[in-house]
Amino acid sequence: MAMARHWYSSAPVVDGLPLLGEPGFWAAHLVDLCEGVRPEAFGVDAADAGAMLEHLHDKSAWPTFTVPLEGGFAIVVHYNSGEEYTSTDYFLVSPGSTDAVLASTDQDRIGPGLCWPELAAILHAPDGAVGVTDPHARLLLLIPALGDAGAPAGAVDVVVEALIARGAPDGCEPLARRLLAGHPMWGAQPWSFDADERSWICDGEHSPRQTPLGDHLPPGRRAALEACLDSAVPDA
């Protein structure tokens, strides 16, 4: 089961932000979604991708990345390199309340945790935010937590733009489509918007989003959460 985030306080956590610009990072971070895809598709060679994968899975230093959202919320990405396995955990961090697991690649396979409208809504960081603020990096960092069978056709162009901005060569549309197909642990799943709950709901067997996002929060905090994903809400 995904490690509760507070347990990381006793783990060898390090700031992963400097890794985002290193050769091979995106090929390594997205390797689980791209079985059979050569690192050259990301614009890097196999040696750089392999070295970065070893770095991300280093048992003595677990990289963590913070994607700041509106209202003090954030999505925190943790690499967890324990003795038995390595996983990547995606937490929705809510100010003043318990963090929620959006997705995890541990043996319990938790996901998907985001639909495309939500991911598209949080590509731009709040003014003055600290952490991962580049929209292309935010998209590629979080896309493993995505799994949306209803992603619009235009999503491919958005992912292509992010890939090229981060070093991939022209003609990377097949790679973008591969990333949008979802993590192999849970794939692309159907989502629907519950107007009464004002929340996206996922039908995926392994998704934590089968219940409304934020239903564990007090009314004030849930309203703040809705606000940080406001543009993900369909027009009335």
pLDDT along the chain (236 residues), means of 10: 55 92 97 95 97 94 95 92 84 79 91 96 95 98 98 98 98 98 97 89 95 79 74 62
Q: What is the pLDDT of residue 58?
A: 93
Q: What is the pLDDT of residues 11-70, one digit of tens each?
A: 788 999 999 999 999 999 999 999 999 999 999 999 999 999 999 999 999 999 999 999
Q: What predicted TM-score, i.e. pTM, was given to this entire model?
A: 0.93
Query: Pairing state of beta strands 62-68 and 13-15?
Result: parallel
Q: What is the pLDDT of residue 198?
A: 83
Q: What is the pLDDT of residue 195?
A: 87
Q: What is the pLDDT of residue 1?
A: 43
Residues 13 and 60: their CA atoms lie apart, in Å, by: 8
**What is the average pLDDT score of the chain?**
90
Q: What is the pLDDT of residue 177?
A: 98
Q: What is the pLDDT of residue 193?
A: 93
Task: For the chain, give the DSSP string.
Answer: -PPPGGGGGGS-EEE-GGGGGSTTHHHHHTGGG-TT--GGGGTS-HHHHHHHHHHHT-TT-EEEEEEE-GGG-EEEEEEEE-SS-EEEEEEEE-TTS--EEEEE-STT-B---B-HHHHHHTSSPPTT--S---HHHHHHHHGGGB-BTT--THHHHHHHHHHHHTTPPS--HHHHHHHHT--TTT--B-EEEETTTTEEEE--TT-GGGS-TTTTS-HHHHHHHHHHTGGGSPP-
